[in-house]
Amino acid sequence: MEKFLEQLLRLLENGEKCALCSVIGRSGSVPAPANAKLLVKEDGTIVGTVGGGALEAEVKGEAQRAISAERPAVINFDFRAQAFQDSLQICGGRISLFIEVIFPTEGEKEFFSKVLQEIHCSHSVVLVTAVESSYRDKPPAGHRLLFNERGLLAGGLARPEWNERVRETVSGLLEQDDPLYLELENRPEDCPELEGFLVEFIHPAPTLVVFGGGHIGRPLCQLGAICGFRVVVVDDRAEFADPERFPEAERTIHSDYTSVFDSLQVGTRHFLVSVTRCHATDRQVIEQAVRYGCAYIGMIGSRRKIKLVWEQLEKNGVERALLERVHAPVGLGIRAETPGEIAVSIMAEIIKTRRKRKPEIRKQKI
């Protein structure tokens, strides 16, 4: 989402209109996940995807028409229809998308700059967009809201009471990933174009912390960056904690493996992998890592090494239940042998853990 929003902001700063296409409903088997987004420029160039194929071609065409008319649209697709059957789109489900036209106004530039500022500071935010069938004013106003647990950050909906009502509705959901579509039970007479509110929970990119800057750490760092992770590399040897060795890493830290946790601020969106040079340093990493509620912990090693490390950690007072959270031997069983193959197996297991279920868009009346 971060890179996507950066490209959106770049368009606005260049003075270009664009259309942003977002999923607001889906059922059955459809090509676009709940959090899919497609950005369409005036010239038809696209960023992102809503599943490709015939669906994406249709959405792109609708988006270009929306830009030309400066009018939003809610569009519905039924993949059971003959048109999609003929185009080999045989998913068999239904999907609804909201196409909004984004104008390059100072207000929009300031709003999306604020979204990115919060993400860059590792803050999660809630983005609320009014789903409208037409715009009363061009450019529209009162159609976007940004807030988090600290309060209102930017924008505001057409009616102040809607700001509070939406915030109260989602107050217990701020850590979730799935978007939420709030349908209006009763449309206000003075806003007949308003259909509901799309609520998106935007979080900073997950962080991959690689302990060990050796022959496996290098390709693992590269793969982590390719897969959208913020990568931090830690090594207790200066020559292996050289930023030039890891150009893809956001941070490269030269530190011992025990005290470094004080500066990492490990949380629920951190994925930790220990691929250090020996048993002793891997043990130091795991002894600290299991004390945090991170998303994933992995340690490289043979089963014999793991048994020895676990025995020593238990002697040090680490509970067995904590050690059972660790993926060891790390990585999926793909018979990897080379450093690159081992890094692929590790990254695959991390992705499997992260994507343990498909995102869904929930609907709720408001």
* Predicted local confidence at residue 201, as pLDDT: 95
Q: From CA 190, how far away is CA 162, in angstroms rounded?
A: 14
More confident residue, 217 or 91: 217
3-class SS string, 287-318: HHHCCCCCCEEEECCCHHHHHHHHHHHHHCCC
Angle at 113 between CA 73 and CA 150, to 5 degrees: 95
* Predicted local confidence at residue 144, as pLDDT: 95
Q: What is the mean pLDDT of residues 50-71?
A: 91
H or E segment to which residue 113 belongs: helix 106-120
Residues 6+ apart with CB under 8 A from 182: 166, 169, 196, 197, 198, 199, 363, 364, 365, 366
More confident residue, 357 or 64: 64
Among 285, 302, 275, CA closest to 213: 275
Q: Which domains does the chain have, with CATH numbers?
A: 18-102 (no CATH), 106-204 (no CATH), 207-354 (3.40.50.720)
pLDDT digit string (tens) for 206-245?
999 999 999 999 999 999 999 999 999 999 999 999 999 9
Helix 2-13 to helix 106-120 angle (10° resolution) is: 150
pLDDT over 80 at 79, yes or no:
no
* Predicted local confidence at residue 88, as pLDDT: 45
Could you tell me the two tokens for 349?
Answer: 């297991």
| Residue 85: pLDDT band with limits 50, 70, 90 | low
CA-based torsion, 157, 162, 164, 168: positive or negative: negative
Percent of the chain at pLDDT exceeding 90 = 73
| Residue 82: pLDDT band with limits 50, 70, 90 | low
Q: From CA 86, how far away is CA 338, in angstroms rounded?
A: 45
pLDDT over 70 at 35, yes or no:
yes
Q: Is 23 within 8 Å of 97 (Cβ atoms)?
A: yes
- The pLDDT mean for the chain works out to 91
**Tokens 């860059």 belong to which residue?**
120
What are the angstrom distances between the C-alpha of 52 and each of 30, 185, 282, 288, 300? 11, 33, 43, 44, 38
Amino acid residing at 73: A
pLDDT digit string (tens) for 116-170?
999 988 899 999 999 999 998 888 888 999 999 989 999 999 888 899 999 999 9
* Predicted local confidence at residue 339, as pLDDT: 97
Residues 6+ apart with CB under 8 A from 118: 124, 125, 146, 148, 153
What does DSSP say about strands 125-132 and 194-202: parallel, antiparallel, or unpaired?
A: antiparallel
* Predicted local confidence at residue 89, as pLDDT: 52
Q: From CA 205, how far away is CA 211, in angstroms rounded?
A: 19
Q: Which pTM value belongs to this model?
A: 0.84
Cβ-in-10-Å burial (0-12, 13-18, 19+) of 215 comes to: middle
| 248, HSE (Cβ side, Cα atoms, 13 Å) | 20
What does DSSP say about strands 180-183 and 18-27: parallel, antiparallel, or unpaired?
A: unpaired
| Residue 77: pLDDT band with limits 50, 70, 90 | confident
Residues 6+ apart with CB under 8 A from 290: 297, 318, 322, 323, 325, 326
* Predicted local confidence at residue 97, as pLDDT: 93
Could you tell me the two tokens for 155?
Answer: 């924008």
Amino acid residing at 99: I
* Predicted local confidence at residue 90, as pLDDT: 53
What are the angstrom distances between the C-alpha of 150 and each of 26, 124, 172, 202, 350? 32, 10, 13, 15, 31
